[in-house]
Amino acid sequence: MLEILFLLLPIAAGYGWYMGRRSIRYKQNRKRKQLSRDYFTGLNFLLSNESDKAVDLFISMLDVDDDTIDTHLSLGSLFRKRGEVDRSIRIHQNLIARPTLTTEQRDIAMMELGKDYLAAGFYDRAEEIFLNLVQQEDHSEEAEDQLIAIYQVTKEWQKAINIIKSLKRKRQQSLKLLSSHLYCELADEQQDITAKIKNLNLALKQDNNCGRALLQLSKLYLNQQDKQSCKEILYRLKTADIELFPEALAIAKEAYDGEQDKQAYRELLHEALLKGAGASVAITLAQHMIEQGELFDAEKLILDGLYRHPTMKSFQHLMKMQLQQAEDGQAKKSLNMLSELVEQQIKFRPSYRCLECGFPSHTLYWHCPSCKSWGSIKRIRGLDGE
């Protein structure tokens, strides 16, 4: 009897293994059919414009594990890029709620949720998430960048500066341009002149060639009737950021208004012109020469500039000079009409353009409204510009 039982044991084991495999296969087939059915149900929801139900169904179909977490993140990112931020938030919140995530996976999900809040305009929630992330030793630079971006949007300049100060020295060096503009923004908000000057000097400490800080300092010193300091700053501006020098022409004219300053003023404009300041400086210098009775030399200056770098501004100014000398008659009327047409064309064309994204503007912005770059908007060069 025992011998028969021993003979039957392998058969029983084999049968158990077979039934187990059959049960597993049955469950897999059943799950596959259920997923297929849910998938087509989700597609029907999408086609019926019931995308909320479709999102809920697709989320329930995905078990969070190492193989599907990227799918969750991609799906959330897709919805955020499409502007459907509420759905992206739901996906990432559902992801974070899963207890099986590793620390690294949770941090990635938190980063994405912070971006969702930022896109939705929930700056306080986004700030809280990114602050928690940057407190971790192995945090990414992206969390720092997102925090700085939030403080720029909310105009909390000092908070942005504090974040930059907490970074490693090498990282601070890469953000010195941004830091200088943040200090300039602080200076703009200050009512006290001493505080303004202090922040502008801090901006120059971050970036010694910050033309914005130099331009604002020259205005402050001129308003304080400290013309000597104003002149010194103008000379620094000429060397630091020659493309910004045309913005200081009115300041320079007022600072050098003394009889003994005429030659120094002329030298300043001439040096700026040699450095490539552009048509506006050439026209200002020509006007100064005309005031000194040097009409022929002024015309020659404009003509030489037109030969080297033709611009509509210089051409229109040359016509004005010719009109002053022309005799009354049909030729003068035609020249006057042409001058007015060119002047209208100059007014119609934008004067500034962002070097990063090409955003055109009639106004100088320190922070590009399009690409959000700092200090990238400059005067247009070429026929329609300088």
**Does position 376 have pLDDT exceeding 90, yes or no?**
yes
Q: Is 381 left (phi over 0), alpha (psi -120 to 50) or beta?
A: beta
**Secondary-structure breakdown of the chain: helix, strand, coil percentages, each rounded to the nearest 5:** 75, 5, 25
Decide which of 383 and 180 is more confident.
180
Q: Which residues, including other chains, have CB under 8 Å from residue 386's CB and lie 6 or more apart? A: 246, 277, 278, 279, 280, 311, 313, 379, 380
Where does the pLDDT of residue 212 fall: very low under 50, low under 70, confident under 90, or very high at 90 and above? Answer: very high
Where does the pLDDT of residue 8 fall: very low under 50, low under 70, confident under 90, or very high at 90 and above? Answer: very low
The pair of three-digit structure tokens given for residue 324, joined into one six-digit string: 């002053």
Decide which of 41 and 318 is more confident.
318
The pair of three-digit structure tokens given for residue 18, joined into one six-digit string: 């077979």
Where does the pLDDT of residue 115 fall: very low under 50, low under 70, confident under 90, or very high at 90 and above? Answer: very high
The pair of three-digit structure tokens given for residue 73, joined into one six-digit string: 């993140």
User: What CA–CA distance (Å, rounded) separates 175 from 9?
Assistant: 76
Distances (CA, A) of 174 to 10, 171, 314: 73, 5, 39
User: What CA–CA distance (Å, rounded) separates 82 from 51?
Assistant: 13
pTM, 2 dp: 0.78
> Please, what is the average pLDDT of the chain?
83
Instruction: Please write down the HEC assignment for all residues of 160-200.
Output: HHHHHHCCCHHHHHHCHHHHHHHHHHHHHHCCCHHHHHHHH
The tens digit of pLDDT for each residue in 174-185 reads 999 999 999 999
Parse the chain into domains and list their residue ranges: 167-207, 278-348, 349-386
**Does position 60 have pLDDT exceeding 70, yes or no?**
no
Give the residue from 307, 305, 297, 254 showing the smallest Cα distance to 276: 305
What does R_g of the chain's alpha carbons equal in angstroms?
Answer: 34
- Residue range 290-301: average pLDDT? 88
**pLDDT at res. 354:** 94
Q: Which residues, including other chains, have CB under 8 Å from residue 136's CB and lie 6 or more apart? A: 107
Both ends of the chain: CA-CA distance in Å? Answer: 110
Residue 360: phi and psi, rounded to 5, are -90, 150
The pair of three-digit structure tokens given for residue 162, joined into one six-digit string: 């504090």
Where does the pLDDT of residue 168 fall: very low under 50, low under 70, confident under 90, or very high at 90 and above? Answer: confident
In the chain, the percentage of residues whose pLDDT exceeds 70 is 81
**pLDDT at res. 118:** 92
Contact yes or no for 202/209 (Cβ under 8 A): no
The tens digit of pLDDT for each residue in 196-207 reads 999 999 999 999
User: What CA–CA distance (Å, rounded) separates 191 from 195?
Assistant: 8
User: What CA–CA distance (Å, rounded) separates 251 from 227?
Assistant: 10
With H, G, I as helix, E, B as strand and everything else as coil, classify residue 117.
helix
User: What CA–CA distance (Å, rounded) separates 369 from 374?
Assistant: 10
Where does the pLDDT of residue 15 fall: very low under 50, low under 70, confident under 90, or very high at 90 and above? Answer: very low
Q: Which residues, including other chains, have CB under 8 Å from residue 125's CB and lie 6 or more apart? A: 114, 117
- Residue range 333-338: average pLDDT? 76
With H, G, I as helix, E, B as strand and everything else as coil, classify residue 311.
coil
How many angstroms from the chain centroid is the CA of residue 352?
Answer: 16
Hey, how many other C-beta atoms are within 10 angstroms of the C-beta on 105?
Answer: 20
Nearest-10 Cα torsion for 233, 234, 236, 242? 150
**pLDDT at res. 70:** 77
The tens digit of pLDDT for each residue in 246-277 reads 999 999 999 998 878 889 999 999 999 999 88
What amino acid is encoded at 262 in this protein?
A: K
